[in-house]
């Protein structure tokens, strides 16, 4: 069963604007973590940000922030001040203690930044 859902297959955003990528997850495990990875057209996987289920504050890393709404089981990625280099595929992923901490990925969202 799909545990991670990314409902936006593709998005366009204007340069310098902010964009929010949706991610919802399904687990009853109280101990879990959520990751976001970026995959540019060159193919490599780049770690962006992490949020643990017990973290009290939303994670931030530079222009990336994670809007963590635990009760709604959502972990949306916000990219502020978009740059052309942000054009890529973005994956949400989850680890759960009940799944031996294996990483489960969503299907991804393609972001295209327009000049």
Partner 1 sequence: NAGVTQTPKFRVLKTGQSMTLLCAQDMNHEYMYWYRQDPGMGLRLIHYSVGEGTTAKGEVPDGYNVSRLKKQNFLLGLESAAPSQTSVYFCASSYSPLAGNEQFFGPGTRLTVL
Nearest distance from C-beta of residue 23 to partner 1, angstroms? 12
| Choice from 35, 66, 76, 79 touching partner 1 (CB under 8 A) | 35
Q: Judged by CB under 8 A, does residue 60 bind partner 1?
A: no
Choices 12-20, 70-78, 79-87, 94-102 (CB under 8 A): range interacting with partner 1:
94-102
Which of these ranges, 12-20, 22-30, 67-75, 96-104, lies near partner 1 under the rule CB under 8 A?
96-104
Rounded least distance, CB 52 to partner 1, Å: 6
Pairing of strands 88-96, 103-105: antiparallel
The separation between the first and the last C-alpha atoms of the chain, rounded to the nearest angstrom, is: 39
Phi first, then psi: give them for residue 71, nearest 5 degrees.
-65, -35
Both tokens of 20, joined, read 């929010």
**Torsions phi, psi of 6, nearest 5?**
-120, 110
Q: Is 101 in the site for partner 1 (CB under 8 A)?
A: yes
Structure tokens at 18: 């902010």
Is 11 near partner 1 (CB under 8 A)?
no
CB of 35 to partner 1, least distance (A): 7
Main-chain dihedrals φ then ψ at residue 69, nearest 5 degrees: -120, 95
């Amino acid at each position: 069963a799909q545990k991670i859902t990314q409902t936006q297959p593709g998005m366009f955003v204007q340069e310098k604007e902010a964009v929010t990528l949706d991610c919802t997850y399904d687990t009853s495990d109280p101990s879990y973590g959520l990751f976001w990875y970026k995959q540019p057209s060159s193919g490599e996987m780049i770690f962006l940000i992490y949020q643990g289920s017990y973290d009290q504050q939303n994670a931030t890393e530079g222009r990336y922030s994670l809007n963590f709404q635990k009760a709604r089981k959502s972990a949306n990625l916000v990219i502020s001040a978009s740059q052309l280099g942000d054009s890529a595929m973005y994956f949400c992923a989850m680890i759960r203690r009940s799944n031996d901490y294996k990483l489960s990925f969503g299907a991804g969202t393609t972001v295209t930044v327009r000049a």
